[in-house]
Amino acid sequence: MAYLWSLAALIPLNNYGHYIHWGVIDVSVANFIVVVLMILTFIAALFLPFPGRNRRKENQ
Amino acid sequence: MSTAEIERQWTTRLRKRVAGHLPPEKLLPDTQPAYVSSWIYVFGVTTIAALTMVILSGIILAIRGPQWWHSSSIGHFINSTHLWSVEIFFFAMIVHLWGKFFMAAWRGGRSLTWVTGVVTFLASVGTAFTGYVSQTNFDSQWISTQAKDGINATGVGSIFNVLNLGQMLMWHIVLLPLAAVLLTTIHVLLVRVKGVVPPFEDEKGATK
Amino acid sequence: MSTKPFRPDVDAPKYEGKYTPYDIIREGTIAIVVVGLLVILLATLFGSPDERAITIKTWSNADPIDFATTALGELNGTTITAQYGAPYNTAAPGQNLGPLKLAQFAGVTIPVNTVRDFVIAPLTSQPYNKNLSAALSQWKGASAAQQSSWVSNYTKGASKMTWSNGTITVPATNTGPVPTMINSLTAMARSGALDQALVTGGGFYTTNYTKPLLFVADGTYLANLAQKQHLLGSQWGMMNETGSYPGQAWLWLYTFWYQVSPFSSSSNADVQVSALMGLLSLLLLLVPFIPGLRSIPRKVKIYRLIWREYYHS
């Protein structure tokens, strides 16, 4: 409980970061995850069906 | 007082122009074209929601001043919400930008909507940058002493001194947020005025 | 008058199809709630980085030789700041973009004289001390040529600088007041007094850290810490953050240019990369007006996925 009240992060990321080297590319794992998530989100947004009950009823 | 005189008033003319371009049913619509049916459309409003969180957390940080968060666990938590809402803001904004690019959303007299969007993005990059140098910690020491070379080399450093904490904080919490919010408002109003871009017509039925 | 031909990348067809119910306020509310919860979740899980700022006190205690060497550099004009040029001084012409010397053109608007501001003024601000007072009198009373000769003699032995018993020692002769000045400045730095002197040099109130930041950045201590955190420019540092936190990933292209030729070896990289990024930003801004560029979306056909319901109906 005291831990909760201290509002400290549960998984603080204060240790030195890990880096991915690939040719000239040198990116932190954290940034890499963000970029990959961004691309995956974009792809998911394109492919996942958008819930629209009204329209589907009309179409079917 | 004649009707003609009232019609000529600046106030009357402005009201009529605004009402003409942006009647209430356009500003706050209750329907939308049926083609607006994809998850890609949620990233604009997600960006605005993240901007709202950035501003709310920023307001709380502003109440106790720029160094509160170093010594208070509540302050540090609010700073964390500020950081993560910024990360989500850029995340959503960039996905929004990709989506709008691949829809060629500038078509049909919407080029100014695109332009204001890009300017908002650039202003946001500047806002984030001035935030990083206003943190009053190691990060801001390093980022400011590095960034000074890039900015000085362009001559802009002669007036925009990234090593001046007071100046950077003013830009971060007054000037740039004002610009970002104003640009976002114009951008959203333009979307409301012009509506969401219709699909390309030449391909209709071609996917079957 | 004939009607203008329809340009598919510029004009939009008029939509005369169906409309569906849309609750914009509900959508906005849901977005704020979802993003709000996500922000609280991420903040609770990961927090945010806050590496404590270094001080000249921590630097000079951790590495007195590096501090004293930097202090000497401020005196003999070899530090980054001393040789910077505009906007701090006229020591160098600064970078140029082809024929354009933008920094020089903008002029010296934030004057920094490293001898005066980083050495003499802080030492002068100290409480009375017989040796220091005598050294400063000797310095101030000497000609520029004499000052320069003392500093240059001291610099010759500086590579053999040692630190013991709280004293910086350099094997050199005919150095006038320079050893006392360097030692006093080092002692001042180690006590924390130099941090204060540089900050309050502009008066009681200040929000301007230009001078202490320039001084700190002239040493290697800050850069060594930054290198451990993978923050150097050559490490794509612009987009990185201390610890394992995500940084300003949106700066990836800006920092990318610094890694590749010709920018990676250019002495004008800063202004060149800035100009290139300015140009690319302008291209992005003007996409709707640039033939070819604005046709990409129609040709790559990702829009068919987005509007698949529309094309199927």
Residue A35 belongs to some domain of the structure: yes
- Residue for token digits 């040692």? C162
Q: Which run of H or of E encompasses B32?
A: strand B31-33
* Beta-carbon separation of B42 and A45 below 8 A: yes
- Say whether the peptide bond before residue C262 is cis (omega within 30 degrees of 0): yes
C21, β-bridge pairs: B31
**Among B79-83, B98-102, C8-12, where is mean pLDDT lowest?**
C8-12
Domains of chain B, with CATH numbers?
39-194 (1.20.810.10)
Instruction: Provide the 8-state DSSP code for B134.
Output: T
* Beta-carbon separation of B35 and C40 below 8 A: no
Instruction: For B183-203, write each residue's pLDDT tens digit.
Output: 999 999 999 999 999 999 865
> Is B119 within 8 Å of B125 (Cβ atoms)?
no
Q: Is C298 helix (H, G, I), strand (E, B) or coil?
A: helix
Residue C55 Cα, gap to closest chain A Cα (Å): 20
Q: Is C169 helix (H, G, I), strand (E, B) or coil?
A: strand
Determine the pLDDT at residue A15: 87
What is the overall mean pLDDT for chain A? 81
Q: Which run of H or of E encompasses A22?
A: strand A19-22
Q: Phi first, then psi: what are they for A47, rounded to 5°?
A: -95, -35
Determine the pLDDT at residue B204: 46
User: CB count, 10 Å around CB of B162?
Assistant: 28
Average pLDDT value for residue range B121-150: 96
Residue A52 belongs to some domain of the structure: no
Neighbour-count burial for C60-93, b at 16+ CB within 10 Å, e otherwise: beebbebbbbbbbbbbbbebbbbebbbbbbebee
How far is it, in rounded angstroms, from Cα C9 to Cα C292? Answer: 9
Interface of C with B in 186-245 (CB under 8 A): 206-210, 213-214, 216-217, 222, 225-226, 229, 231, 233, 237-238, 241-242, 245
* Beta-carbon separation of A18 and C244 below 8 A: yes
Residue ranges of E strands in chain C: 19-21, 162-164, 167-169
> Is C306 within 8 Å of B129 (Cβ atoms)?
no
Residue C281 Cα, gap to closest chain A Cα (Å): 20
How far is it, in rounded angstroms, from Cα C72 to Cα C155? Answer: 7
Nearest to C48 by CA among C189, C241, C223: C241
What is the overall mean pLDDT for chain B? 94
Judged by a CB distance cut-off of 8 A, whether residue A1 touches chain C is: no
Instruction: For C189-239, write each residue's pLDDT tens digit.
Output: 999 999 999 988 778 888 999 999 999 999 999 999 999 999 998 899 999
Using the predicted structure, report yes or no on whether residue A56 has a pLDDT greater than 60: no
Number of domains, chain A: 1
Kind of pairing between the strands at C19-21 and C162-164:
unpaired
Determine the pLDDT at residue C313: 77
Residue of C21, C44, C236 with shortest CB distance to A9: C44
Q: Is C168 helix (H, G, I), strand (E, B) or coil?
A: strand
Domain layout of chain C by residue ranges: 56-225, 230-300
Of the pLDDT bands very low, low, confident and very high (cuts 50, 70, 90), residue A5 is low
> Is B87 within 8 Å of B41 (Cβ atoms)?
no
Alpha carbon C197 to chain centroid, angstroms: 22
Contacts with C59 from chain B: Cβ below 8 Å: none
Q: Which chains touch C (3 or more CB pairs under 8 A)?
A: A, B
Q: Which chains touch A (3 or more CB pairs under 8 A)?
A: B, C
* Beta-carbon separation of A50 and B37 below 8 A: yes
* Single-letter amino acid code for the residue at C145: A
How far is it, in rounded angstroms, from Cα A47 to Cα C201? Answer: 61
Instruction: For C139-198, write each residue's pLDDT tens digit.
Output: 999 999 999 999 999 999 999 999 999 999 999 999 999 999 999 999 999 999 999 999
* Beta-carbon separation of B208 and C312 below 8 A: yes
Instruction: For C37-85, write each residue's pLDDT tens digit.
Output: 999 999 999 999 999 999 999 999 999 999 999 999 999 999 999 999 9
* Beta-carbon separation of C240 and A47 below 8 A: no
- Mean pLDDT is highest, among B21-35, B44-58, C120-134, for B44-58
Using the predicted structure, report yes or no on whether residue B128 has a pLDDT greater than 60: yes
Using the predicted structure, report yes or no on whether residue A60 has a pLDDT greater than 80: no
Average pLDDT value for residue range B159-175: 97
- Residue for token digits 């201290």? A6
Residues ≥6 apart with Cβ < 8 Å to C124? C136
Residue ranges of E strands in chain B: 31-33
